[in-house]
């Protein structure tokens, strides 16, 4: 579905991504693991142009879009890439002055030009999907962290993206709230959504991922099926990383 080739990104003299290649198949869940500072979040943000890579390409199999960052794509091309994906942020990023349902409606109505009344119906359906239909008219401060994150997931779904991107979606949550968010993500995986997930939730990766990537120092160290990385990996960096995670 999506071919990502030779993605580089630097901030000044700090080279964060040093040539990342990845293929994401339609309907698959790709989980990206790695220590802090490995470039995981920067890579995820490059996939929907929240950060613009210095070079590399992102292309879609259906021929709808191909972006060569070495050619300095214009704003229209970057916007087209952004509309391909829905992003779920670590810190929710809900608009505090808007209700749950208004947060869902904003992108489709303002950016995509959808009918407001029809979008309200769709937004209510999405809130029901994530178990929060009764919270439609509440503001973010009236919701728990887990509820805010599920609103964030529903907001990402509202634009009907080809790809869902998750940036450490449970890391800001209290432990008792994590499972509700993971359950929502597992439901989406079972429905065939294409997902790229940056996370430290190893059990989620074991249970749900079709493909697992380990990053370190701006490179892909190893990638393969969950079984390959968690049970059969012979790469010393993968083994060391998993050992550290298991000890925590």
Query: Could you please report the per-residue DSSP string of 144-178?
Result: -HHHHHHHHHHHHHHT--SEEEEESTTTTS-HHHH
Q: What is the pLDDT of residues 18-28, one digit of tens each?
A: 999 999 999 99
Q: What is the pLDDT of residues 135-151, one digit of tens each?
A: 999 999 999 999 999 99
Edge to edge, the sheet with strand 55-60 lists 14-24, 2-11, 55-60, 66-68
Cα–Cα distance, 228 to 18 (Å, whole number): 24
Beta carbons of 56 and 6 less than 8 angstroms apart: yes
Q: Is there a domain that residue 210 lies in?
A: no
Residues in Cβ contact with 27 at an 8 Å cutoff, skipping those fewer than 6 apart: 192, 193, 194
The band of 243, judged by pLDDT with boundaries at 50, 70 and 90, is confident
Q: What is the mean pLDDT of residues 102-126?
A: 91
* DSSP 8-state code for residue 51: S
Cα–Cα distance, 144 to 155 (Å, whole number): 16
Q: Is there a domain that residue 136 lies in?
A: yes
The phi, psi pair for 39, rounded to 5°, reads 105, 5
The phi, psi pair for 33, rounded to 5°, reads -115, 165
**Residue 29 forms beta bridges with which residues?**
195
**CA separation (Å) from 238 to 11, 202, 206?**
27, 13, 14
Structure tokens at 25: 């198949």
pLDDT value of position 11? 96
Q: Is there a domain that residue 66 lies in?
A: no
Q: Is there a domain that residue 46 lies in?
A: no
Q: Is there a domain that residue 219 lies in?
A: no
The band of 248, judged by pLDDT with boundaries at 50, 70 and 90, is low
Q: What is the mean pLDDT of residues 38-62?
A: 95
Cα–Cα distance, 48 to 136 (Å, whole number): 28
Q: Is there a domain that residue 124 lies in?
A: yes
**Residue 219 forms beta bridges with which residues?**
216
| Structural domain total, the chain | 1
pLDDT value of position 112? 82
Mean pLDDT of the chain: 93
How many C-beta neighbours within 10 Å does residue 222 have?
19
Cα–Cα distance, 37 to 43 (Å, whole number): 11
How many C-beta neighbours within 10 Å does residue 83 have?
18
Q: What is the pLDDT of residues 216-232, one digit of tens each?
A: 999 999 999 999 999 88
Residue from 237, 194, 243, 234 nearest 22 by CA: 194
Cα–Cα distance, 245 to 223 (Å, whole number): 17
- Has residue 110 got a pLDDT over 90? no
The answer to which of 8-12, 78-82, 153-157, 174-178 has the lowest mean pLDDT is 174-178
Q: What is the mean pLDDT of residues 83-101?
A: 93
Q: Is there a domain that residue 14 lies in?
A: no
Q: Is there a domain that residue 212 lies in?
A: no
What's the pTM value of the predicted model, to 2 decimals?
0.94
Q: What is the mean pLDDT of residues 115-133?
A: 94
- The domain containing residue 115 runs over which residues? 90-160
């Amino acid at each position: 579905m999506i071919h990502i080739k030779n993605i580089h990104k630097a901030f000044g003299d700090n080279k964060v991504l040093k040539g990342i290649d990845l293929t994401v198949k339609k309907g698959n869940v790709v989980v990206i693991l790695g220590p802090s500072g490995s470039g995981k979040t920067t890579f995820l943000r490059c996939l929907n142009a929240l950060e613009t890579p210095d070079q590399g390409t992102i292309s879609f199999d259906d021929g709808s879009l191909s972006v060569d960052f070495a050619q300095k794509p214009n704003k229209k091309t970057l916007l087209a890439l952004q509309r391909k994906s829905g992003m779920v942020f670590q810190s929710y990023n809900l608009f505090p002055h808007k209700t749950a349902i208004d947060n869902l409606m904003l992108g489709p109505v303002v950016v995509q030009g959808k009918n407001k009344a029809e979008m309200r119906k769709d937004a209510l359906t999405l809130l029901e999907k994530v178990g929060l239909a009764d919270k439609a008219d509440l503001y973010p401060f009236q919701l728990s962290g887990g509820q805010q994150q599920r609103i964030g997931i529903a907001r990402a779904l509202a634009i009907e993206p080809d790809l869902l991107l998750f940036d450490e979606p449970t890391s800001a949550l209290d432990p008792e709230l994590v499972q509700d968010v993971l359950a929502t993500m597992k439901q989406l995986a079972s429905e065939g959504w294409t997902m790229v997930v940056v996370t430290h939730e190893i059990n989620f990766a074991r249970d749900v991922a079709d493909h697992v990537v380990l990053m370190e120092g701006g490179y892909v160290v190893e990638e393969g099926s969950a079984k390959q990385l968690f049970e059969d990996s012979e790469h010393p960096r993968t083994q060391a990383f998993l050992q550290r995670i298991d000890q925590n």
